[in-house]
Amino acid sequence: MKKRIAALLGTALLAGMMTACGGGSGETTAETTAAAAGGATEAAAETEAAPEETSYKSELNVAVAANPPSMDPHGINSNIVGSIGMHIYEPLFSLNENYEAVPVLAEGYTVSDDGLEYTITLRQGVKFHNGQEMKADDVVASMNLWLERCSKAELIKGSTFEKVDDYTVKMTVPEASSDIIMVLAAPIQFAAIYPQSVAEAAGPDGISEYIGTGPYELAEWKQDQYVKLTRFADYQSPEGESSGLVGAKPASTETIYFRVVTDNSTRIAGLQTGQYDIIEDLPLEYYEQLSSDPSLTMDVETGGTLNLFFNTTQGPLANQTLRQAVMAALNCDDIMLAAYGDPNLYMLDAGWCPPDDAVWGSDAGSEYYSQNDPEKAKELMEEAGYNGEPIVLVTTPDYSEMYNATLVVQEELKQAGFNAEVEQYDFSTFMEHRADPAQFDLFITSNSYNPLPVQLSVLSQAWAGLDAPEVAEGIAAIRGAATTEEASAAWDELQGFLYEYGAASVLGHYTGVYGLRTGVEGFDYLRYPIYWNVKVPE
């Protein structure tokens, strides 16, 4: 009897485990058949092709370093969400390779004489992944949701969208500015157009159905494993050559897998064996070693700036002269080398925008940048009456570049005579400290470029507490400028002010490295890696 009960219990336990096991992977059956079908069409295409032509794989494997926290680009400032999202959804306008705003789902627009009304016409015949046609109702619902949720839309706060007819919408803005369409085209937290029903059903944490008009549709999203995109058969590509995020999007490879591989060495091992065709966030310490491998190609893209932010409102650094002393002590070359490990992977420049940007590239304030002058720092400290109060640098080891840079800055400050202390926390805790001026004196973060300098975090009071009227005036001057030249000059002035006031300092410009198998074609980058042109030879 005893044995039978034990056996029964054992079987029950085992059965329970089996169902748990089965439940875990039951969804993949359909996927396998779909993949098989994809393989069949590919095979058919191959037989038609001439024998000497290269044949391409029907599946692209991209290893990404982070788990996308969502598939809703509106509300989340996350590169992985934006980058995958760009393949699924499309905005009204986006950027071409010259950083100009170009229509995507829009056909064109006209502006009223007072600059307050934008009449945007929509392309006709564009289908959502669910088969519905994209119309004005969808655009109005999505854009209103975006205005509410996107922090980058603060610039045009108070704007409204309304429907004129099925293929025309009217946008009303509270203030005229030359940058309105640029704001709509910004790639981070981009203004993806969803079907009206999806946009209207969105809860506090965003949409829950992932339907767009993009060249790929979301086939499957397995948390912690992969995001699988498949070519959207009814895709209506915008006209024109592929350029940045606009123009033709051929969806050259049938299926894209974004595989979530958080471990750095695993991502690299997978690239070396060909399990992944492309890996994102290649750890910089491997750059030199992997560059010498002929089977791999490294793609280096400048992505933003590493910045030092001061607490300008509380604590010892509320004193402007003392902030100037800190800036005098910095040697940015050493800081950037510690952060990025290889001189090929960073650039020293005082500008907050890409130095090659014709409009926004600026060297204003560069006399304050990377002075490496501890003697001057000591003099300024004395002038400011510094008495060895602790200067707290908060950081997080979760972002190694931010952490390493912080340690070097601490050392440089100590050498100049500051009592610099580092407090390190996990990312979430760091964010709490950073947001509260009572809990930091200095912090360093890496921030991606913004298409418009007025969207930079450094200008926002919520970021590091910066509270100076010159900032608001500067923003107004840039946005109200009649010509690009005037706007550019106004930004020069504002950037100069940031340095002079000691609000923050750029430490340098960083790059992101993508590892590709040699032979992979069509990889492109604009703010995000772009995969719709990518082809992988067999």
Which residues in this chain contact other proteins in the complex, by CB under 8 A? 1-3, 5-6, 9-10, 13, 17, 19-26, 28-29, 32, 67, 69-70, 75-78, 151, 204-205, 208, 222-225, 259-263, 265-266, 269-270, 272-273, 275, 425-429, 431-432, 435-436, 445, 447, 457, 460, 462-463
Smallest gap from Cβ 334 to other proteins, in A, equals 24
Closest distance between other proteins and the C-beta of residue 373, in Å? 31
- Evaluate whether 330 touches 409 at the Cβ level (below 8 Å): yes
CB of 431 to other proteins, least distance (A): 5
Least distance (Å) between residue 98 CB and other proteins: 25
Tell the smallest beta-carbon distance from residue 537 to other proteins (Å): 19
C-alpha angle 316-321-323 in degrees, rounded to nearest 5: 60
Question: For residue 456, what are the contacts with CB-CB under 8 A and spacing of at least 6?
Answer: 352, 447, 450
Phi, psi (deg, nearest 5) at residue 140? -60, -50
Closer to other proteins by CB, 258 or 418: give it.
258
- Shortest Cβ 46–other proteins spacing (Å): 24
- Closest to other proteins by CB, 403 vs 532, is 403
Its sign, for the CA torsion 99, 104, 108, 112, is negative
CB of 527 to other proteins, least distance (A): 14
Torsion of CA 363, 365, 368, 369, to 10 degrees: -30
65-to-131, 299, 405, 517 alpha-carbon distances in Å: 33, 16, 21, 17
**CB-CB contact of 73 with 190 (8 Å):** yes
* Paired tokens of 29: 């059956």
Please, which residue, 104 or 498, has the CB nearer to other proteins? 498
Q: Min. distance of Cβ 518 from other proteins in angstroms?
A: 17
Q: Judged by CB, which is closer to other proteins: 32, or 289?
A: 32
CB of 398 to other proteins, least distance (A): 9
Nearest to other proteins of 370, 447 (CB atom): 447
Report CA 206 to chain centroid distance, whole Å: 18
Nearest-angstrom CA–CA distance, 366 and 435: 27
Ramachandran bin of 527, using left for φ above 0, alpha for ψ from -120 to 50, beta for the remaining angles: left
The tokens for 233 are 């058969």
285 vs 432 by CB, closer to other proteins: 432
Distance CA 320, CA 112 (A): 45
As measured in angstroms, the least distance from the Cβ of 224 to other proteins is 5
- Judged by beta carbon, residue 135 or residue 517, the one nearer other proteins is 517
The residue (of 47 and 428) whose beta carbon lies closer to other proteins is: 428
- Calpha distance 405→428 (Å, rounded): 19
466: amino acid identity, one letter: L
Q: Which CB atom, from 207 or from 534, has the smaller least distance to other proteins?
A: 207
Cβ neighbours of residue 445 under 8 Å, at least 6 residues apart?
Answer: 306, 307, 309, 399, 402, 434, 457
- Torsion sign, CA atoms 401, 67, 182, 531: positive
Evaluate whether 383 touches 328 at the Cβ level (below 8 Å).
Answer: no
Residue with tokens 């060495």: 265
Nearer to other proteins, 7 or 49 (CB): 7
